[in-house]
């Protein structure tokens, strides 16, 4: 992502977000396990620490507050000790709890998690899932109707604990639409139809799959749900990234390359970040990139981790680091797999020059630029003063390219030049990230007929050119920029080795 996320992050502090949903308190009991109980074949947890963390819709609010949003909550709690602890934890995080309703007919939802060294051993749930009363639903509607001017976005966090039924969800969406307030919903599959007309509905891939009885590809699921619900559908897919569907449009972002420590809570982080981003005026493609980045922070450490305002501002630094790490990983594969081929290419070119032969280089697009670069290093110099080496870049002469392209077709722009310029024992170097560029393939076939040596720089699985040439280097990546970066590194290595071998 480029720097265009920063103006939206800068305005997070001014945005007021209302979260409506199932409020929960998580109690984490941490300890160690070193023995089995003599009373029964169960492990004994030696308790070291106990802590309380807001959960459910409260975790969405915690994420919003962590990113400097102004947050209010609507939901229900019981009249019990868990309520007091939950309100204490929320207020400590500067979250407005004035609209939380006490329902004496049900307890505050409490989830007790037993952990040993961040591994979950057991979870105890204290909850009642029955629907809330009509009186409490009416209070929620009245509160929302009386406060719409306060909020820049409304997030509905539905954990299917009984707070939100179809009637309440439709009322929430109708009130927000009437007042031009965007509604972002984190929905359970069972209740997905309740939220038709919401601006954004988020699901993870597993949840989306439960809606369909058959095994349906992700893109078909997203498009169908978007059309059916008249909403933008965002499906998070773990290592497969995040995908947004709005009618026939699709926006996708790749998952960040991180070590996964804790997947729980990432959905809340995505929903919170989308809410803040949309409230800040971010377009959908920028909003999902920010949500994807925030989720990568949430899953990078054990427990419920919320990205901060500073984290979001520093997003570009993190992405630069990831790009460089990916670049290094791809180049490591070259070290593992391609050193012998690089050595062969250096020997081929050295022998050609010793026998007064030349090198012809070609490719399309970015590969054409690499061909130009390669030829320039040979004709000019790379690192040391030495005589010029004969090399021709077949992508440089626009008159020849357009004449041949016009008269014979684009697939002949290199092969025609090879027929005119190449001689036996010259070296042809074709560069193609896909390995499927037909004009490069045709040029190699023409070169073989002449008796030239053929070399290809490829990517992905090598495509049709893999195995066709005398020597092929395949950079095993599906990311074109990383392939091209690796190609030009190999070009530099070859140039340096040639100079060392021929002129030192």
Based on the fold, state whether residues 408 and 453 are members of the same structural domain.
yes
DSSP symbol at 423: -
Q: Could you tell me if 468 and 492 are in contact, meaning their C-beta atoms sit under 8 angstroms apart?
A: no
Domain endpoint, select from 289, 313, 337:
313
231: in domain: yes
Based on the fold, state whether residues 203 and 141 are members of the same structural domain.
yes
| Per-residue CA distances from 459 to 313, 434, 462 (Å) | 34, 6, 5
Letter string b/e over residues 305-326, b meaning 16 or more CB atoms within 10 A of that residue's CB: bbbbbebbeebeebbeebeeeb
Based on the fold, state whether residues 81 and 197 are members of the same structural domain.
yes
Domain endpoint, select from 278, 313, 348:
313
Structure tokens at 380: 């000019």
Instruction: Write the Ramachandran bin of 331: left for phi over 0, alpha for psi from -120 to 50, otherwise beta.
Output: alpha
Smallest Cα–Cα separation from 75: which of 102, 95, 94, 105?
102
39: in domain: no
Q: CATH number of the domain at 7, please.
A: 3.40.1190.20
Contacts of 220 (CB under 8 A, 6+ apart): none
Based on the fold, state whether residues 309 and 331 are members of the same structural domain.
no
212: in domain: yes
Q: Which helix (H) or strand (E) holds 333?
A: helix 315-337
Based on the fold, state whether residues 334 and 296 are members of the same structural domain.
no
Letter string b/e over residues 433-447, b meaning 16 or more CB atoms within 10 A of that residue's CB: bbbebbbbbbbbebb
117: in domain: no
42: in domain: no
Q: How far apart are CA 223 and CA 246, in angstroms?
A: 7
pLDDT of residue 317: 83
128-145, pLDDT tens digit by residue?
999 999 999 999 999 999
Q: Which residues share a beta bridge with 24?
A: 55, 109
Based on the fold, state whether residues 187 and 306 are members of the same structural domain.
yes
pLDDT of residue 163: 94
Q: Could you tell me if 37 and 49 are in contact, meaning their C-beta atoms sit under 8 angstroms apart?
A: no
Contacts of 477 (CB under 8 A, 6+ apart): 330, 333, 459, 460, 483, 486
Based on the fold, state whether residues 294 and 339 are members of the same structural domain.
no
Q: CATH number of the domain at 438, please.
A: 3.40.50.10490
Neighbours of 17 (CB within 10 A): 26
Based on the fold, state whether residues 252 and 391 are members of the same structural domain.
no
pLDDT of residue 261: 47
**Residues in the chain with pLDDT values less than 70:** 1-3, 257-265, 301-304
The number of domains in the chain is: 2
Based on the fold, state whether residues 254 and 275 are members of the same structural domain.
yes
Based on the fold, state whether residues 227 and 373 are members of the same structural domain.
no
pLDDT of residue 256: 74
Which range of residues forms the domain containing residue 308?
3-25+53-110+129-313
pLDDT of residue 2: 46
pLDDT of residue 223: 94
Smallest Cα–Cα separation from 163: which of 84, 57, 64, 87?
57
469: in domain: yes
453-463, pLDDT tens digit by residue?
999 999 999 99
Based on the fold, state whether residues 225 and 370 are members of the same structural domain.
no
Structure tokens at 263: 């997947």
Contacts of 320 (CB under 8 A, 6+ apart): none
Based on the fold, state whether residues 297 and 337 are members of the same structural domain.
no
Domain endpoint, select from 313, 336, 362:
313
33: in domain: no
Q: Could you tell me if 247 and 222 are in contact, meaning their C-beta atoms sit under 8 angstroms apart?
A: no
pLDDT of residue 429: 98
150: in domain: yes
Contacts of 327 (CB under 8 A, 6+ apart): 482, 485, 486
Half-sphere exposure of 94 (CA within 13 A, CB side): 11
Q: How far apart are CA 106 and CA 129, in angstroms?
A: 9
pLDDT of residue 1: 42
């Amino acid at each position: 992502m480029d720097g265009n996320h920063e103006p939206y992050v800068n305005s997070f502090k001014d945005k007021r977000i209302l979260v409506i949903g199932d409020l929960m308190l998580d109690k984490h009991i941490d300890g160690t396990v070193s023995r089995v109980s003599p009373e029964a074949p169960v492990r004994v947890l030696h308790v070291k620490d106990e802590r309380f963390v807001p959960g459910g819709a409260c975790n969405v609010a915690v994420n919003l507050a962590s990113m400097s949003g102004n947050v209010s909550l609507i939901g229900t709690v019981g009249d019990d000790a868990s309520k007091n602890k939950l309100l204490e934890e929320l207020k400590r995080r500067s979250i407005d709890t004035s609209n939380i309703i006490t329902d004496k007919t049900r307890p505050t939802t409490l989830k007790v998690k037993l952990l040993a060294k961040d591994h979950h051993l057991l979870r105890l749930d204290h909850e009642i899932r029955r629907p809330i009363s009509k009186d409490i639903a009416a209070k929620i509607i009245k509160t929302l109707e009386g406060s719409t001017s306060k909020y820049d976005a409304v997030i509905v966090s539905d954990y299917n604990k009984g707070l939100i039924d179809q009637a309440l969800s439709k009322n929430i969406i109708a009130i927000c639409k009437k007042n031009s307030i965007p509604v972002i919903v984190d929905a359970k599959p069972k209740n997905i139809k309740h939220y038709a007309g919401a601006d954004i509905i988020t699901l993870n891939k597993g949840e989306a799959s439960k809606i369909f009885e058959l095994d349906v590809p992700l893109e078909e699921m997203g498009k169908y749900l978007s059309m059916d619900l008249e909403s933008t559908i965002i499906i998070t897919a773990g290592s497969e990234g995040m995908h947004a569907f709005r009618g026939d449009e699709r926006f996708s972002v790749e998952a960040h390359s991180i070590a996964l420590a804790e997947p729980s809570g990432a959905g809340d982080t995505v929903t919170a970040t989308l809410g803040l981003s949309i409230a800040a005026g971010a377009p959908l493609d920028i909003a999902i990139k920010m949500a994807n980045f925030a989720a990568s922070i949430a899953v990078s450490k054990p427990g419920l981790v919320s990205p901060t305002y500073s984290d979001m501002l520093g997003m570009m630094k993190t992405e630069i680091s990831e790009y460089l790490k990916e670049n290094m990983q791809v180049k490591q594969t070259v070290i593992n797999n391609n050193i012998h081929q690089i050595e062969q290419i250096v020997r081929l070119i050295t022998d050609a020059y010793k026998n007064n032969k030349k090198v012809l280089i070609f490719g399309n697009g970015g590969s054409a630029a690499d061909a130009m670069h390669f030829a320039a290093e040979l004709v000019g110099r790379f690192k040391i003063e030495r005589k010029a080496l004969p090399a021709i870049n077949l992508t440089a002469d626009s008159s020849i390219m357009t004449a041949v392209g016009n008269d014979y077709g684009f697939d002949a722009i290199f092969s025609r030049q090879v027929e005119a310029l190449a001689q036996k024992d010259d070296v042809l170097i074709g560069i193609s990230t896909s390995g499927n560029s037909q004009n490069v393939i045709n040029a190699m076939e023409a070169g073989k007929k002449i008796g030239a040596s053929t070399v290809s720089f490829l990517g992905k699985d090598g495509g049709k050119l893999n195995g066709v040439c005398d020597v092929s280097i395949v950079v095993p990546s599906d990311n074109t920029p990383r392939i091209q970066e690796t190609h030009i590194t190999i070009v530099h290595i070859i140039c340096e080795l040639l100079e060392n071998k021929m002129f030192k």
